[in-house]
Amino acid sequence: MDKPGITLLVQLASELQAQPDLTPAGLLERWRQRPDFHYIDKLFLKEPPATSLEIAVDEVIKATDRLIADQFPQERLDELMRRFHLGALSSEEKQELRDLIRMRGAS
Protein backbone atom coordinates (compact mmCIF):
# COMPACT_ATOMS: atom_id res chain seq x y z
CA MET A 1 0.00 0.00 0.00
CA ASP A 2 1.39 3.38 -1.02
CA LYS A 3 1.76 6.07 1.60
CA PRO A 4 0.68 9.54 0.42
CA GLY A 5 4.15 11.05 0.80
CA ILE A 6 5.95 8.38 -1.24
CA THR A 7 4.14 9.20 -4.49
CA LEU A 8 4.69 12.90 -3.88
CA LEU A 9 8.42 12.42 -3.30
CA VAL A 10 8.76 10.27 -6.43
CA GLN A 11 7.03 12.99 -8.48
CA LEU A 12 9.23 15.65 -6.92
CA ALA A 13 12.41 13.67 -7.58
CA SER A 14 11.38 13.06 -11.19
CA GLU A 15 10.73 16.73 -11.76
CA LEU A 16 14.03 17.76 -10.20
CA GLN A 17 15.90 15.15 -12.22
CA ALA A 18 14.28 16.39 -15.44
CA GLN A 19 15.05 20.03 -14.58
CA PRO A 20 18.12 20.16 -12.28
CA ASP A 21 18.41 23.96 -12.63
CA LEU A 22 14.96 24.54 -11.17
CA THR A 23 15.25 26.82 -8.15
CA PRO A 24 13.38 26.12 -4.90
CA ALA A 25 11.23 29.19 -5.54
CA GLY A 26 10.42 27.98 -9.06
CA LEU A 27 9.55 24.54 -7.78
CA LEU A 28 7.29 25.94 -5.07
CA GLU A 29 5.54 28.18 -7.57
CA ARG A 30 5.03 25.26 -9.95
CA TRP A 31 3.45 23.13 -7.19
CA ARG A 32 1.50 25.94 -5.48
CA GLN A 33 -1.93 25.01 -6.95
CA ARG A 34 -1.62 21.31 -6.11
CA PRO A 35 -3.65 19.99 -3.16
CA ASP A 36 -0.50 18.48 -1.64
CA PHE A 37 1.48 21.74 -1.85
CA HIS A 38 1.77 22.08 1.94
CA TYR A 39 3.95 18.95 2.00
CA ILE A 40 6.37 20.47 -0.50
CA ASP A 41 6.36 23.80 1.31
CA LYS A 42 7.45 22.05 4.52
CA LEU A 43 10.45 20.50 2.76
CA PHE A 44 12.07 23.90 2.25
CA LEU A 45 13.71 25.87 5.02
CA LYS A 46 12.34 29.30 5.74
CA GLU A 47 15.92 30.62 5.81
CA PRO A 48 18.48 29.35 3.32
CA PRO A 49 21.36 27.30 4.69
CA ALA A 50 24.75 28.92 5.04
CA THR A 51 26.91 29.08 1.97
CA SER A 52 30.09 27.07 1.72
CA LEU A 53 32.11 30.25 2.20
CA GLU A 54 30.21 31.10 5.39
CA ILE A 55 30.77 27.60 6.73
CA ALA A 56 34.49 27.75 5.85
CA VAL A 57 34.92 31.14 7.54
CA ASP A 58 33.14 29.89 10.64
CA GLU A 59 35.39 26.80 10.78
CA VAL A 60 38.54 28.94 10.43
CA ILE A 61 37.37 31.21 13.25
CA LYS A 62 36.63 28.22 15.50
CA ALA A 63 39.98 26.60 14.69
CA THR A 64 41.80 29.85 15.42
CA ASP A 65 39.98 30.21 18.73
CA ARG A 66 40.97 26.67 19.68
CA LEU A 67 44.65 27.32 18.82
CA ILE A 68 44.66 30.50 20.87
CA ALA A 69 43.01 28.69 23.77
CA ASP A 70 45.60 25.91 23.62
CA GLN A 71 48.58 28.27 23.46
CA PHE A 72 47.32 31.07 25.68
CA PRO A 73 44.68 29.68 28.06
CA GLN A 74 44.73 32.65 30.47
CA GLU A 75 44.28 35.15 27.66
CA ARG A 76 41.45 33.07 26.23
CA LEU A 77 39.84 32.80 29.66
CA ASP A 78 40.05 36.58 30.06
CA GLU A 79 38.55 37.14 26.60
CA LEU A 80 35.69 34.70 27.23
CA MET A 81 34.99 36.27 30.63
CA ARG A 82 34.90 39.74 29.06
CA ARG A 83 32.50 38.55 26.38
CA PHE A 84 30.45 36.65 29.00
CA HIS A 85 29.85 39.89 30.89
CA LEU A 86 28.73 41.51 27.65
CA GLY A 87 26.32 38.62 27.00
CA ALA A 88 28.03 37.81 23.72
CA LEU A 89 28.98 34.13 24.08
CA SER A 90 27.75 31.34 21.84
CA SER A 91 26.80 28.03 23.42
CA GLU A 92 30.16 26.56 22.28
CA GLU A 93 32.04 29.45 23.89
CA LYS A 94 30.07 29.02 27.12
CA GLN A 95 31.13 25.39 27.22
CA GLU A 96 34.73 26.39 26.48
CA LEU A 97 34.59 28.91 29.34
CA ARG A 98 33.29 26.24 31.73
CA ASP A 99 36.08 23.89 30.62
CA LEU A 100 38.77 26.55 31.11
CA ILE A 101 37.45 27.39 34.57
CA ARG A 102 37.37 23.70 35.45
CA MET A 103 40.95 23.22 34.17
CA ARG A 104 42.14 26.25 36.12
CA GLY A 105 40.57 24.91 39.31
CA ALA A 106 42.21 21.49 38.80
CA SER A 107 45.74 22.90 38.53
Decide: 31 and 40 in contact? Cβ < 8 Å: yes
Looking at the chain, the whole-number percentage of residues with pLDDT higher than 70 is 74
Half-sphere exposure of 68 (CA within 13 A, CB side): 14
pTM higher than 0.85, yes or no? no
Measure the CA–CA gap between 89 and 84, rounded to whole angstroms.
6
- Given a cut of 50, whether residue 78 has pLDDT beyond it is yes
- Mean pLDDT, the chain, whole residue set: 76
Q: Quick one: average pLDDT of 19-34? A: 82
- Given a cut of 80, whether residue 63 has pLDDT beyond it is no
- Given a cut of 80, whether residue 51 has pLDDT beyond it is no
pLDDT digits (tens, 9 = 90+) for 11-24: 777 787 788 787 77
